[in-house]
Homo-oligomer: A and B are copies of this chain.
Amino acid sequence: MSFVTINDINPKVLKCEYAVRGEIVLLAQRLQQDLQEKPGSHPFDEILYCNIGNPQSLNQRPITFFREVLAICDHPAILDKSETQGLFSADAIRRASEILNQIPARATGAYSHSQGIKGLRDTIAAGIEARDSFPADPNDIFLTDGASPGVHMMMQLLLSSENDGILCPIPQYPLYSASITLHGGTLVPYYLDEATGWGLEMSELKKQLEDAKSKGITVKALVVINPGNPTGQVLSEENQRDIVKFCKNEGLVLLADEVYQGNVYVPEKKFHSFKKVARLMGYGETDIPVVSFQSVSKGYHGECGKRGGYMEVTGLRHEIREQIYKLASVNLCANISGQILASLVMYPPKLGDESYESYIAEKEQILSSLARRAKTLEDGFNNLEGITCNKAEGAMYLFPQLHLPQKAIKAAEAAKKAPDAFYARRLLDATGVVVVPGSGFRQVPGTWHFRCTILPPEDKIPAVVHRLTEFHTAFMDEFRD
């Protein structure tokens, strides 16, 4: 066999972990194949994927207006045909024409400017201004294939060695731990306080920063995920102000993962961008670097497969922006459909447009249903012995804590698995429900969780709760101390 062995591989790659598509998911895919080939071969008739924020894979329909515009932009030749008027709404045709006029040579098949098509960045900047009531500069926008490449770019820029650290929430979305590992830096953890609804305590931030400094680590940036992934909390504006002040005082770049900005389910909380909070505090462009990540994959639209997104880079010097531009250039540009979609998401139909009412109806239907699903699942978890679960105020996830009996922990040890991975594996085998063990996101040592999305179709949520309840009751009966 090939002369390349595992010892020849970059150890950073070997070390990197990415649980969202880990062992449990591969097993689930095998089980699904089993069920197709031999129906009845398992104690369930379908796999219910609650492991990944991928709404359209669970039959969520795309927003009609967005897809109309994308289809026309993909094949602009149909603009000259009479049938097009019957197939597409008038404002989708108009918007697609406007977008095509913004693209040099109307070429949706051409590489764009490395930061993305200027006209689309203008639109996105207008959308950010409408959201924040503060100016946004199209030259600050870097369009990316989803949010992930932007995060990688910033990590690549900021991390030179393991002496460079990034403060990251724990639990965290494993893109951060994976990216920091791949770029050879050190993840400096700060723990979210589960007891206060995954609160972000300033004392904890300070303690962890000092601790890292005492180990000789230069902390470059603070990652905040708001709304939270996997934890589903929405930060209060006061908390955000404290965080901004902390970054300003400590000289940290604020890396704000704001991809769930469109997913807030409770009336008492609102999304505020960190840039807006900083501006409200009187901090201008030159006072604090804030990089905001946004994605078309999340929100009510959930267009994961389109790989669209952007980062808004503010407060970094010109010569550093040039380095980011160079990194963006090495990959040429983000895909144009994703770029177009990012502009649509940030600047959707307006009151008076032909599609406005259907657009709002589609959006509200999805968001209100997600809110109901979150509540039903949260209540379902909290009804179970030995499970406590904070509210999903936003994002797409619940992150219930498993208070496992010692016997279960011992059984997991015997099976050489983390207790939450042991639980998730048993859950999958018994019910076909796929969740991600908390250890994939990191957690307070000695605590065990799993991440469960709120995305299964609403009519399947009772079945999810029912299967979980049956399984969990039996599990506790089997392992009760």
Distance, CA A87 to CA B162, complexed state (A): 57
Question: Quick check: A10 and B148 within 8 Å, CB to CB?
Answer: no
Question: Quick check: A6 and B110 within 8 Å, CB to CB?
Answer: no
Among the listed stretches A235-243, A314-322, A460-468, which one makes contact with chain B, having 4 or more residues with CB under 8 Å of it?
A: A314-322
Question: Quick check: B10 and A316 within 8 Å, CB to CB?
Answer: no
Question: Quick check: A145 and B4 within 8 Å, CB to CB?
Answer: no
Residue among A109, A302, A315, A337 facing the most chain B CB atoms (10 A cut-off): A109
Among the listed stretches A55-63, A354-362, A392-400, which one makes contact with chain B, having 4 or more residues with CB under 8 Å of it?
A: A55-63
Tell me the smallest distance from the CB of A169 to a CB of chain B, in Å. 18
Is residue A350 contacting chain B, with contact meaning CB distance below 8 A?
A: no
Tell me the smallest distance from the CB of A304 to a CB of chain B, in Å. 4
Tell me the smallest distance from the CB of A46 to a CB of chain B, in Å. 12
Distance, CA A268 to CA B16, complexed state (A): 48
Q: A109 is contacted by which of B18, B56, B77, B87 (Cβ under 8 Å)? A: B56
Q: A111 is contacted by which of B54, B145, B315, B329 (Cβ under 8 Å)? A: B54
Residues from 56 to 74 in A contacting B, C-beta threshold 8 Å: 56-59, 62, 64, 67-68, 70-72, 74
Closest to A8 in B: B220
Is residue A149 contacting chain B, with contact meaning CB distance below 8 A?
A: yes
Among the listed stretches A175-183, A401-409, A425-433, A442-450, which one makes contact with chain B, having 4 or more residues with CB under 8 Å of it?
A: A175-183
Tell me the smallest distance from the CB of A64 to a CB of chain B, in Å. 7
Tell me the smallest distance from the CB of A66 to a CB of chain B, in Å. 9
Distance, CA A77 to CA B146, complexed state (A): 25
Among the listed stretches A152-160, A191-199, A370-378, which one makes contact with chain B, having 4 or more residues with CB under 8 Å of it?
A: A152-160
Q: A156 is contacted by which of B68, B182, B301, B326 (Cβ under 8 Å)? A: B182
Q: Which residues of B contact A307 (CB under 8 A)?
A: 145, 307, 332-336
Closest to A307 in B: B335
Tell me the smallest distance from the CB of A456 to a CB of chain B, in Å. 12
Q: A306 is contacted by which of B10, B54, B303, B336 (Cβ under 8 Å)? A: B336
Question: Quick check: A74 and B78 within 8 Å, CB to CB?
Answer: no
Tell me the smallest distance from the CB of A117 to a CB of chain B, in Å. 9
Q: Which residues of B contact A114 (CB under 8 A)?
A: 21
Question: Quick check: B306 and A62 within 8 Å, CB to CB?
Answer: no
Q: A2-B315, A83-B87, A148-B330 are in contact. List 12 more A-B contacts (CB 8 A).
A: A4-B317, A6-B320, A6-B323, A13-B157, A13-B323, A13-B326, A71-B75, A81-B86, A84-B87, A112-B305, A307-B332, A335-B338
Top-3 shortest CB links A-B: A57-B110, A307-B335, A71-B75
Listed A/B pairs (22) with beta-carbon separation below 8 Å = A2-B286, A2-B317, A2-B320, A3-B251, A4-B220, A4-B316, A5-B317, A10-B157, A10-B158, A10-B183, A13-B323, A13-B327, A74-B74, A81-B86, A83-B87, A111-B305, A145-B145, A146-B331, A148-B332, A306-B337, A307-B332, A307-B336
A interface residue numbers (CB < 8 A to B): 1-6, 8-14, 16, 18, 20-21, 52, 54-59, 62, 64, 67-68, 70-72, 74-75, 77-78, 81, 83-84, 86-87, 104-105, 107-112, 114, 145-146, 148-149, 152, 156-160, 175, 178-179, 182-183, 220, 251, 253, 286, 288-289, 297, 301-307, 315-317, 319-320, 323, 326-327, 329-338
